[in-house]
Structure 1
Amino acid sequence: MVVDLAEVRIADTHRSIRALETSHPPVFYVPPQDTRQDLFRQSGTRTWCEWKGAATYWDLRIGDRTAVPDVAWSYEDPSPRFAALSGYLAFYPSRVDRCRVGDEEVVAQPGDFYGGWITSEIKGPFKGPPGTRGW
């Protein structure tokens, strides 16, 4: 899978972890060594997942400016059940130019809260659009 922004490949891996949660498409978590770590800076945004724990968010920086705020998130110290995700980055497809799984371009999950990756094999309905967050 790959993630691109402005002709820059910011992630490229065959070692991602595909996570599934109720009522939304998969999220792919990328090992940090398979990303352009030099382009990321921790943002001040934090959220809490009842399953995985505290999420840290990452801004994509080009030069000395933030190009895309909160482009990705990670669980630096996830709950034991999700320890395999520790430090891996998950990207919002809606905040970059292109995400691909294999040869297929991903469609971003609707809404701004979830970061699911929709491919032709994934069928909804999904959380995300207005009125669906409380399912």
Structure 2
Amino acid sequence: MSNDYPPSLNSVDQMVPSPRRVRATLGGRVVVDTTRAVYVWEHPAFPQYYIPVDDIDPSVVSLAKVRADGLARFESGALDSWFEEDEEIFGHPRSPYHRVDALRSSRHVRVELDGVTLAESSSPVLLFETALPTRYYISRTDLNMDALEHTGTQTLCPYKGRTSDYWTVRTPAGVYPDFAWSYAFPLPAVAAIAGLVAFYNEKVDLYVDGRAQERPVTPFS
């Protein structure tokens, strides 16, 4: 196990001990309870918890992927819920080297697609997240709701929580599923984005203080 600090987020199978108590439940029962979990970066920037088999209820070990070193990982959805200390986590563990900040701003932001203005605001909340482009969260009163259609999509983010809403964009030129989203009850660290709406920079035309922004290339492109 490497003791490099911080680890290279491009290094697959990098392992770092977690100082947090980690628990998981299934059917209302705690089936994982450990202070010996390790983070393993199987993919860059997205760690997973590996748990000593001795700290897993024997009845659920068969649901896990067990390594020769006695550590085991559960696939997403195999257990009902996961906790770091007493706080529930979503999706995958939060990386100790990943930061998210939500800052109120007076920058002027305009979002367009196919020449249609989708949103325009001078009071956005800017969300800065490690390894991702800045996201611009905008009040619903500043949206062109005639171009947006609510969908039932929900996603999980370890750093922001569970989305409450997604919207498909409709323009005269096409239909674009799930191009915008919102968190009604985000995690406390990004509480400022509650109820606001963001669009994928990768998929829309974004103007900040009158300047066109290049569409970034990310896994969401």
Aligned residue number for residue 137 of structure 2: 29
Once the two structures are TM-superposed, the CA of residue 44 in structure 1 deviates from its matched residue by: 3.0
Equivalent position of 1:117 in the other structure: none
Cα distance, 1:104–1:40 mapped onto 2, change above 3 Å = same
Q: CA deviation at 1:75?
A: 0.7
Specify the structure having the higher radius of gyration (Cα). Answer: 2
- Name the counterpart of 2:211: 104
| Aligned equivalent of 1:60 | 169
Structure number with greater CO (CA < 8 Å, separation at least 6) is 1
1-structure distance, mates of 2:195, 2:143: 12
- SS of the equivalent of 1:108 reads coil
Match of 2:197 in 1: 89
Aligned partner of residue 191 in structure 2, secondary structure: helix
What percent of counterpart residues are identical? 32
Segments ≥4 residues shifted beyond 3 Å: none
Which consecutive residues of structure 2, in runs of 5 or more, have no partner in the other structure? 1-108
Q: TM-score, normalised by structure 2?
A: 0.46
Aligned: 1:113 with 2:205: no
State the Cα distance separating 1:32 from its structure 2 match. Answer: 0.9
CA RMSD in angstroms, aligned pairs only: 2.2
Superposed displacement of residue 86, structure 1: 1.3
Residue of 152, 167, 172 corresponding to 1:44: 152
Contact map agreement 1:68 1:95 (CA 8 A) in 2: no
Counterpart AA for 2:215: A
Question: What TM-score, normalized to structure 1?
Answer: 0.72
CA distance in 2, matches of 1:29, 1:46: 17
